[in-house]
Amino acid sequence: MSKAKTPAARGGRYVFTFCLLALSLSAVIGRLVFLQVIAAPALAQQAEDQRLRGITLSPHRGSIYDREGEPLALSTEARTVYAAPHSVIDPQGTAEALATVLGGKPNDYLEKLTEDANFVYIARRIDMDRAASLEALELAGIGFLEDWRRVYPSGELACQILGFVGVDDEGLAGLENQYDDLLAGEAGSILAERDPQGRPMPGGVMERQEPVDGSSIVLTIDKDIQYEAQVELAAAVEEWGAKSGTAVVMDAHSGEILAMATVPGFNPNTYSKAKPAAHRNRPVTDMYEPGSTMKSFTAAAVIEEGLYNRESIFHLPPTIKVGGRTISEAHHRPTVDWSLSQIVTNSSNVGAVKLGQALGPERLYEFLKRFGLTSATGVDFPGESPGTVPRVDDWSVSSIGTIPFGQGVAITPLQLTRAMCAIANGGELVTPHFLMDLPNDPDTALAWPKERAISEATAAEMQKILADVVTDGTGSSAAVSGYQVAGKTGTAQKARTDGRGYAKDKYVASFSGFLPADDPQVVIVVCVDEPSNSIYGGAVAAPTFSRIAAFAVAHLKIPPTTQTPDDATATPEATR
């Protein structure tokens, strides 16, 4: 017979059960407090992140035009393709369809289509034809966004100047990079509620912020002169078997860059296919030893200082020794008595040394500075090189002998163009520039500083001397029918890259000049890097200068020369 439970035993059981229930209830209450009070903000944010999807709306990038309103860079309508992986019904078939229309491998698309995500980009900024073909397939889980695609309608024309943009429409090189803040605009966005499969929820919250389109810019570049410069430069590089070539065409008075060419070039529409070296705008970024073109500025310095005039006579032996180094001419000659004008006309190294010695290191350096050769030009272009002109304290004992004729210093073709402008325009050092106008902001005044380098009188004397170079000296191949041309040839040895000294049989042939010499309007510099067969600037670069110059003056409707140069007394020697 069983014993009945005592009241005490029953009471203990009730207490245990009550305590267990109380503990369980406390745990539930604690969990609720944690979820609703402590963790509530984080959980709410997580839920919102899962429910809301933000999509960027691209602005219309501003266009780039040449000085006559011709388009150089435009943004055309495009589509961006995306996928909601949870809504894709047939990932393998969809991947194969995407590869057929867009190109690429199906497996690359399949990897995206099977991601654990609500949204993935499939292709950015595709053209409208491919977008229409893809949209017609009505692939489940594949969507389209309105977008813009950067297009360069003239292909390689001004490619290094313009640069290019990346997949996010950000300027990566050239003026696309320099003026990205103006061109890019501001992106907009869409914020929408979506279901777990990434589909828009009917009646869900949606916020839309419209993008702000970018501003257009007008460049100083003349499309026709730019084309001619590129064609003629490419022909010269091919004719002389050269490594590369550069050309700059600039308004002598304003500093407006009418053309700037570099060969080899590339197509900015497919910039990733080109070698990175082709992207460089070499007249701005690359330095070289200018050689005899430097004699123009050495001669201007002695005239400005009142040491000599263009008729001053110098006794010139075949060679001259400076600091233990013997300096000779490009071609052997006997001892002569030449005027200052003849020194420049015949491109005499010995004569340039005598001019440099008369100036002395401090004054020579000061004039190199005045001509803008010791610093960057300030051009509105990224990555400009300032050149390399050592300060006087760093000169060797022979520097006063080599620098006057362009050895031991390195400058860019743009620095040379700017310095030559100072002789052409009456003595003012201009600021080279590409930006001409802001059509979306007509109230903004663009200012490009000028400063005086030499007097008008010195500039006028140098114009006559440099005109003699073309009529009677080493630059005869730079002549242009109907126009008086002034300029200077240059033949510079290239410094070694693997040690001190100069590389064997490697030269830069150049010609820097302007026209008409009696009323200079256009300055042109042509440099040909490592030509074969001939190395001299007068033979290699001067003819290209002539062809570009002839086109430029005709295109710009510059009247022919109205007066003839003074009778020159120079004795032509071998082209240098």
What is the residue-wise DSSP string for 406-436?
T-S-BB-HHHHHHHHHHHHTTSEE---B-EE
SS3 call for 190:
strand
Q: Which residues contact 307 (CB under 8 A, 6 or more apart)?
A: 358, 359
Q: What is the pTM of this model?
A: 0.85
Q: How many C-beta atoms surround the C-beta of residue 107 within 10 A? A: 11
* Residue pLDDT tens, the chain, 576 long: 445 556 666 666 767 777 777 777 777 776 666 657 666 666 555 555 555 566 778 899 999 999 999 999 999 999 999 998 988 999 999 999 999 999 999 999 999 999 988 789 999 889 999 999 999 999 998 989 888 899 999 999 999 999 999 988 899 999 999 999 999 999 888 776 665 545 555 555 567 788 899 999 999 999 999 999 999 999 999 999 999 999 999 999 999 999 999 999 999 999 999 999 999 999 999 999 999 999 999 999 999 999 999 999 999 999 999 988 999 998 899 999 999 999 999 999 999 999 999 999 999 999 999 999 999 999 999 999 999 999 999 999 999 999 999 999 999 999 999 999 999 999 999 999 999 999 998 888 899 999 999 999 999 999 999 999 999 999 999 999 999 999 999 999 998 877 788 888 899 999 999 999 999 999 999 999 999 989 999 999 999 999 999 999 999 999 998 654 444 333 333 335
Q: Where are the domains of the chain?
A: 73-105+117-147, 223-555
Q: What is the sign of the dihedral through the CA atoms of 368, 374, 378 and 382? A: positive
CATH code given to domain 223-555: 3.40.710.10
Amino acid making up residue 490: G
Residue-level pLDDT at 568: 37
Q: Can you tell me the distance from the alpha carbon of 354 to that of 147, in angstroms, rounded to the nearest whole number?
A: 65
Q: Where are the alpha helices (DSSP H) in 166-325?
A: 174-178, 180-184, 223-239, 282-285, 295-304
Fold of 73-105+117-147: Penicillin-binding protein 2a (Domain 2) (3.90.1310)
- Examine domains 73-105+117-147 and 223-555 and report if their fold is the same: no
SS3 call for 306:
coil
Q: How many C-beta atoms surround the C-beta of residue 352 within 10 A? A: 25
254 is catalytic: no
Q: How many C-beta atoms surround the C-beta of residue 36 within 10 A? A: 10
Q: Which two tokens stand for residue 38?
A: 């402590």
Please say whether the beta carbons of 56 and 189 come within 8 A: yes
Q: Can you tell me the distance from the alpha carbon of 512 to that of 525, in angstroms, rounded to the nearest whole number?
A: 4
What is the residue-wise DSSP string for 514-537?
EE-TTS--EEEEEEEES-SS---H
- Indicate which residue of 292, 339, 341, 348 is catalytic: 292
Residue-level pLDDT at 563: 57
Residue-level pLDDT at 203: 53
Q: Can you tell me the distance from the alpha carbon of 55 to that of 203, in angstroms, rounded to the nearest whole number?
A: 18
Residue-level pLDDT at 209: 85
Helices 413-424 and 456-472, axial angle in degrees (round to 10): 110
SS3 call for 49:
helix
Please say whether the beta carbons of 522 and 250 come within 8 A: yes
Residue-level pLDDT at 433: 98
Residues in the chain: 576
- Maximal C-alpha separation, the chain: 150
End-to-end Cα, the chain, rounded Å = 135
Residue-level pLDDT at 339: 97
Q: What angle do CA 554, 560, 565 make, to 5 degrees?
A: 135
Q: How many C-beta atoms surround the C-beta of residue 392 within 10 A? A: 14
R_g over Cα of the chain: 36
Q: What is the sign of the dihedral through the CA atoms of 73, 75, 81 and 82? A: positive
Residue-level pLDDT at 52: 54
Helix or strand holding residue 553 (H, E) = helix 542-555
94-102: which pairs have CB atoms within 8 A and are 24 or more residues apart?
94/139, 94/140, 94/141, 94/142, 97/134, 97/137, 97/139, 98/122, 98/123, 98/134, 98/139, 98/142, 101/130, 101/133, 101/134, 101/137, 102/126, 102/130, 102/134
